[in-house]
Structures are given as structure tokens and as C-alpha cells.
A and B are shown apart, each in its own frame.
Chain A
Amino acid sequence: MAHEAPGMMHGTLDALILRTLVTGPRHGYAIARWLEEATDEMLTIEEGSLYPALYRMERKAWIEAEWGTSELNRRAKIYRLTPKGRKQLVAETEHWARFAAAVSKVLLPA
């Protein structure tokens, strides 16, 4: 069952995509599926935001793209992480951790 996630901020979506690509190059659909599986279908990526995010990140050189052949022998645009993207992922992850900790302090006081 899929729950609709609240509107995700740019930064969060970017971080999720980058994390996905750490596991290896994927095309856009594969990224969406991986995220769904990794979160046990709890997170549904709004697909309308996925591709613009990918294009934005490609422009910022956090990811690179190449047309290759996918499973099913069809041509697909495959993305992979760049060193710059890796650094960005580290930064975003830290930021998220701090954010989550702050929220936890408020919502789940020890």
C-alpha cells in the first residue's frame, strides 16, 4: 500500500536520488522503483518532480547521463553519480540528520 508522502522539498528529493545512484547507474524509472522498494512502498515519488530534478542535477553536474541500452533491449537515458554529486550527498545527508534530530527532540522528547 502506498501512502501519499507530503510534498517533498527539492533538497530531499535530490538527496534521495543521489543516494539511489550510489548503488550504481540507473535510468529514471529504475530510480523511482528502487526508492519505492527501499522504503517499502511508503514513499511514492511524485513522478512529475523526478525528471525535472534529474535534469536540474545534471545541469549542476552532480550527475552525468548517457544513452545506453536497458533491460528489455530498449534505449534509455542512464544516470550516474559524479564526484561532485557524492560530496553533495554527504552534505545533504548530514543536513537531514540534523534536521531529523531537531524535529525528534520536539516531537519525541526522551
Chain B
Amino acid sequence: MQRICSAVAMLLVCVCSGCASFSPITVSLPWQKQIPEPTKEQSPAVQHADFDTKVGAVHLSAPAKNANPASAVQQVAYYQPTPVAPPQRPPYCEFSPAMKRDYVLPAGNDPAVVQMYPDEYLFDGGDREHPVHYDDYSRLGLDTEDTIVEYQTHKGKQEVKKSNRVAVYAPRFAAIRSASSPIAGTSVDSLAKTEDTIHGVGLAARTVITQHKQREQLEGIRMRSRASGVETEQRQGAVDQSAFISGHTKLSNLFQDTGTKSTGQFQQSDEARIGYQIQAAAIWSRTQFPVIAIRARSAHESKRAVKPEEYIGVEDKRKTEGNLKLIKLADKKNAEPGDVITFTIKYQNIGDFDVDGIKIVDNLTPRLEYVNDSATSDRKGRLVVEDNQEGSLILTFEVDETVVGHEGGTVTFQARVR
């Protein structure tokens, strides 16, 4: 049975392969790879449909007729590596006229491209590299391009916030050159054209450790103690003391002492007095009993509840602490050397309470030159300009006014692109 099936299958295969030209249905098998006819590649006259030939002289050259690897003679004469895949047409021309495009590129700077190629942009704002921090005396971490705001809340807390980052497309190019002679081993070096781009001031500090010797010598102290031959004699003397307790009798009878002078004469006038005294003596002579006085004392507990009947005052509905938000804007998205860019820094207190002591600090990148007297502010204050030691300036806008909650202000300045 198996043999019959295999024979039938082989017969079908033979029929299909042999009668392919006759059958209207062609079956292509894997081993029947059809080689297409070689088509002659012709370079089109206009290879990029997006170009507008009416606008200007747009000319697209045709690629080489022979895109294969160069011949041996060509390699000897001029080494030209063969491109991996010679493009038939420019695959992507960003400078095609926009109206002829069948797609729309996003307007402005693409954030992903900005992040990918930051060396083509001028940045200002944000907090680059090390974040701004403080030690006891100074501010640290303020790099070029950084823009921050310092302020004080109503609780006395010092706060610092950074702004957003503004990107302006402004690539700048430079060249580096060397000239060599065909004679081996020689070189031409033009030192006069060397430009030093390092602006750091070299500080050489040398600390010499002086040798300090301290020598302490122990002086020999000798002490000698001798048992002295002093003898102390102590004699116990016998002390005899005789004490005689003398008897002392005192008899006083106050009740009988009436002070009556016993003169031997009894006068009538003394009778009453003596009688009274006798009566008194009789009273006093009665049995004297102790009189107990009892006095009860009880602790009293006092309770008092004070209930305000009326409360008069102003209720402060402010809840959130003062919080500044810093927004930086530039009037240009792309610039060339010599262009003037106007930067606008808006600060807004998004908290409820006031903030004081606002300082907006902007450390300009070396390619931005501050235009003198171009700074403005809608609140009272001053501008402090200092060198950032990197070829540009640090602008500090000090705002004198207190910014209440949900209000803000604006400062602007201009900078020229170098």
C-alpha cells in the first residue's frame, strides 16, 4: 500500500513539473526558483518627488551607474569604500519644501531629539549636574545654564526651586587642523593659532610641613624619707572631779501672795479686796478639768467652668505654605550667532501664605552674552551681576516686595548668542 502511494505521489510530481508549460496553473516549488529577468536600472530624472522644482534650482544628481565595487585601478588611484547600500534616492530630506510633503513634521523642537542631541542646542534654565545646595556660608552647585529662585516662607524657612529648561537650537562649529608634509617624520605645528579654551585659573598651593620637635626630659627627683626618731610620750593624767548635787527647794504659793503688805494693820478698805481674792482663790481652787476644743475642718473643692459667650476676631483661611513656581520662556526657538534672545522668567506664589526675600539667580551659559541694561522687573528690586568664571555672567534679580499668595511677578532680560 505504501509503495502504491509513493508511486502515485512521484507520478503527480512528474506530471506537474513536466506539464507546467501546458497547464494554466503553475505551481512554484521551492527548488524551482525563478530567476527574474535582469531589469536595466535607470536613474529617474527627478528622484525625489518632494522637491519643488519651481521654487528654485533643485537638482538631484543621479547615482553612479556602476554602483558595484570599484575596479582595481580605481582603488589604486583613489580609495573609495563602497557604500553598504547605495540609496536610489535620498531617503529623508528634511529641507524639502513643506507644502510638497505628504507628511507634517512636528512644529518646534522634538523633546526626544533635544534629549538625544543636546550639543546642538543652547540651554538655559533648570538645574544641570549637581543640584544647588548650601553650606554654612555659600551656595554650591550652581552650574552654567542653571536658573533657580530662593525665597523665604512665612515660617522663616529658606526654600530653593529650579525653573524649567529652555532649549534654543543654535549649533556652532569650529575646526581643528593639522598640516603634514609628505616627508615622513616631519610635521608643521602652528602654535600661534592655538586657542586656549580653558579659563580656569590655576592655583598652586604648596604646603610645607615644618618639623617640630619637642623634647621632654624627665628630671630625676629623688626623695628620701627617713623615719624620724621623735618619740612622743603621752601620759594619761588622772583627773578627779567631785560633784555635789545641792538640794534646792523653792516654794512659791502664788495664790497666797496677794501682795498684801502685812503691815499688821487690817484696814477696812482691804476687806473687799481680800474677799474678792478669796473668792477668786476659791474658784481657782476647784478641780480644773481640761477643756477640749474640737474644730472640724473640711476641704472644699471648687469647680469653675468658663464658657465664652462671644468670640471676636479675624479667621485666617490661609492653609498652604508659600510656594514659588518658576517658569522660564524664550522668545526664539532657534538662533544664530549675533541674535538677541529675550528671556522671560515668571514667578508665581502658588501657596496661600506670603513669601519674602525672593532672589532669582540665572547662570548664563558661555555662549550667551547678557545685553547691558536689558533687565526689567514688574516689582521693586535690583539686579546683581557677577562673573561666573566661565566666560559668562550670573544674573541675580532681588525682589524687595513681599509676594502674597496666588500672585507673582515677571523679570526679563536679553542675551546675545555668541
**Do the two shown chains form a genuine complex with each other?**
no
